[in-house]
Structure 1
Amino acid sequence: MANPVPMAEIWRGAFLESVHHGHAVICDESGQIVQAWGDPHAVVLPRSSSKMLQALPLVESGAADAFGLGQEQLALACASHQGAAIHTDRVRAWLDHIGKSDDDFRCGAQEPSDKDAREALIRGFEQPCQYHNNCSGKHSGFLTLTRHLGAGPEYVDPSHPVQAACLEAFEDVTGATSPGFGIDGCSAPNHATTLHGMARAMAFFAAAEEGQGARASAAARLRNAMVAYPELVAGEGRACTELMRAMNGRVALKTGAEAFFIAIIPERKLGVALKITDGTTRGAECAIAAILVKLGLLEADHPATLKRMNTPIRNWNGIETGALRPASALL
């Protein structure tokens, strides 16, 4: 088993102060590894980077079409949004459309990370609701599928038909039996796989086209929704949104908690999965940016890139004290 390798570095002046180690895999549509760093067989919890996989049953079951869901809803089903009005207004309308309410969610209330939304709650002496939860789009998809299947209300239970469908889809597109699951921040099961398995799944999404079968058609629709509405997948100022915009919709990106990141590259039919082992977001954002630059998909001097790679670090006086840089292995 290979050890994690340096992927992002913090320099202070001439001194290497900190290093973020990790693993990454680029996979082609046949499931073969094109390039890898660290251990491609490392078992990982992909966290929110697996939301597209969890949304597959929503589309391929016919539930999305039965309830007239469009690209905005499909993008939200894959989202880790920040609770801005553009997110919560759509989630609430989705709930109304399927005859459900905030009380039907099982994701838990979360204070929005969007500054305007958070301050509006404070000014109104209001508490956050479950629709503010960054995973409320995914859970709206779960509720829609629950209604379509006529299943019970506890849709996050691992034995529930919704979660059984998610596991079947997850294992199919990763190409491996999951060794188990952890409970995610939104209370849904999050299944483990290898880093190679996640990259294989992302390559499946990259190569998928509508009309190739229910699963491939679902994958293509979800991927296309993400790149059509990058602002719904994350939000203003967030890496997923800004980097997708920087690449003009050529790549779908999705972060996951504890420094996971994936990329779906349709024009190359490639999938990328990476994990920074210390769980630090800045390391994952720097590493995914470096890989996308290496592949010729992201401009190294684009402002969205420079926020996350070769990024100056300044102190409170505005003095440049160092930089966040990709490690040499990624260059």
Structure 2
Amino acid sequence: MKPIQVYRGNYVESAHDVHIAVVSGKGDLLAYYGEPDRLTFARSSMKPFQALPIVESGAMDTYHLTEQELALFCASHSGEPVHRNTVAQVLQKINLEEGHLQCGTHIPTDIDSYNQLIKDGGALSPYYSNCSGKHTGMLAGCVNQKMDVDTYRELAHPYQQQIIDVIAAVSNFDREKIVTAVDGCGVPVHRVPLQNIALAFSRLAYSSNWKTATPERRNSLERIRDAMGAHPEMVAGTNRFDTDFMKTYGGRIVAKGGAEGVHCFGDKETGIGVAVKIDDGNGRGASVASMEVLKQLKIGDSSLWDQLDSYYHAPVLNARQEKIGEIRPEFKLKDLQ
């Protein structure tokens, strides 16, 4: 039996394999399922670390950027008005325009915004891209360091090289072994073993365990974690797993999903980091897997899990929005201590 089962009625219609790594604050592998060392493009789950040079460059202070804006730099947002308006606000602060964004565009998750755009006779723009916050943050980091803004998304650009330095350090993975490709929004994306990604989220959640990091780096990680926890609505949006997950846990959890079935989170109280990869890339099983890990690790209790049940036993809906099945976890973590 595969670990993620998709039911139509009372019958299994489809199933997904999953790889999971659970890492302690000291970097020890506590539990796993599948291949915990699977080389993985963490996609948008890396956004909190891609935002680290913004904080470390001093751009937050130079341009009087807010914690809400910092949370948006880590986002895969829904394109709601608050997201689009905040992107425009930051660009104004750094004296750039929407045309400087090189993230492309797509139909936003927030269909109400898209429908209103059509009614108004407007056209999709980079503001609607779920990565526009990340790109705006990159531009802020570049402007503050007097780096070229026209080539900011190219691998050889110094800002992208700073990001590789950060990912190598926070994941404790040899920089020379980090393979890059191109993400959906045009910037580099990094391939790292799953358990190293889990370690990065452990350090994001509880940087004090990272004894070899400088106080400045630990403080920067804490600032990003706290911004995401204080403004979870900026990290995803209405009725989105990461937003509801962090809101329900009241800042205890820092979480970020990524394309192709990736989901990662860290627990501020225990320092545990978790990285999940649905093997076939179907994201519908990611929240289900993460919720099952939460329950097996006993992070929180039933009062919290029940609030997130729609992400745990995720409903399968028909075109009438009727529940006609659900997605269920059917796995047990191995070597659980």
Q: TM-score, normalised by structure 2?
A: 0.91
- 2:185 is matched with 186
| Aligned pairs for 1:31-50 within 5 A | 31-50=27-46
Cα deviation code 1:236-268 (max 9, x no counterpart):
011111122222221011110000000011100
Q: Aligned pair count? A: 327
Residue 304 (structure 1) shift: 4.5
1:167 and 2:141 equivalent? no
Q: Distance in 2 between matches of 1:254 and 1:104?
A: 26
Query: Per the alignment, in what secondary structure is the counterpart of residue 294 of structure 1?
Result: helix
Unaligned runs of 5+ in 2: none
Residue 93 (structure 1) shift: 0.6
1:232 and 2:234 equivalent? yes
Q: Distance in 2 between matches of 1:126 and 1:249?
A: 37
- 2:173 is matched with 176
1:99 and 2:124 equivalent? no
Q: Is the Cα contact below 8 Å between 1:112 and 1:118 reproduced in 2?
A: yes
Q: Distance in 2 between matches of 1:197 and 1:319?
A: 40
Q: Distance in 2 between matches of 1:290 and 1:317?
A: 28
Residue 330 (structure 1) shift: 5.1
Q: Distance in 2 between matches of 1:312 and 1:166?
A: 37
Q: Is the Cα contact below 8 Å between 1:313 and 1:322 reproduced in 2?
A: yes
- The partner residue of 1:323 within 316, 326, 334 is 326
Cα deviation code 1:36-84 (max 9, x no counterpart):
1111111000000000111111111212222221210110010000110
Residue 10 (structure 1) shift: 1.6
- 1:158 is matched with 155
Q: Distance in 1 between matches of 2:298 and 2:134?
A: 31
Cα deviation code 1:87-118 (max 9, x no counterpart):
01111011001101001111112232212211
Residue 217 (structure 1) shift: 0.9
Q: Distance in 2 between matches of 1:113 and 1:10?
A: 23
Q: Is the Cα contact below 8 Å between 1:81 and 1:232 reproduced in 2?
A: yes
Query: Per the alignment, in what secondary structure is the counterpart of residue 54 of structure 2?
Result: helix
Query: Per the alignment, in what secondary structure is the counterpart of residue 264 of structure 2?
Result: strand
Query: Per the alignment, in what secondary structure is the counterpart of residue 273 of structure 2?
Result: strand
Residue 319 (structure 1) shift: 7.6
Q: Distance in 2 between matches of 1:143 and 1:110?
A: 20
Q: Structure 1 residues 208-217 or 169-178, which shifts more? A: 208-217
Cα 1:176–1:98, aligned 2, differ >3 Å: closer, same or farther?
same
Residue 293 (structure 1) shift: 2.3
Cα deviation code 1:160-189 (max 9, x no counterpart):
111010010011111112431111111000
1:274 and 2:276 equivalent? yes
Q: Is the Cα contact below 8 Å between 1:75 and 1:233 reproduced in 2?
A: yes
1:292 and 2:286 equivalent? no
Q: Distance in 2 between matches of 1:45 and 1:314?
A: 29
- 2:224 is matched with 222
Letter in 2 for 1:72: Q
- 2:199 is matched with 200
CA-atom RMSD, angstroms? Answer: 2.2
Q: Is the Cα contact below 8 Å between 2:76 and 2:130 reproduced in 1?
A: yes
- 2:141 is matched with 145
Unaligned runs of 5+ in 1: none
Cα 1:330–1:144, aligned 2, differ >3 Å: closer, same or farther?
same
Q: Distance in 1 between matches of 2:300 and 2:2?
A: 21
Cα 1:48–1:320, aligned 2, differ >3 Å: closer, same or farther?
closer
Residue 125 (structure 1) shift: 0.9
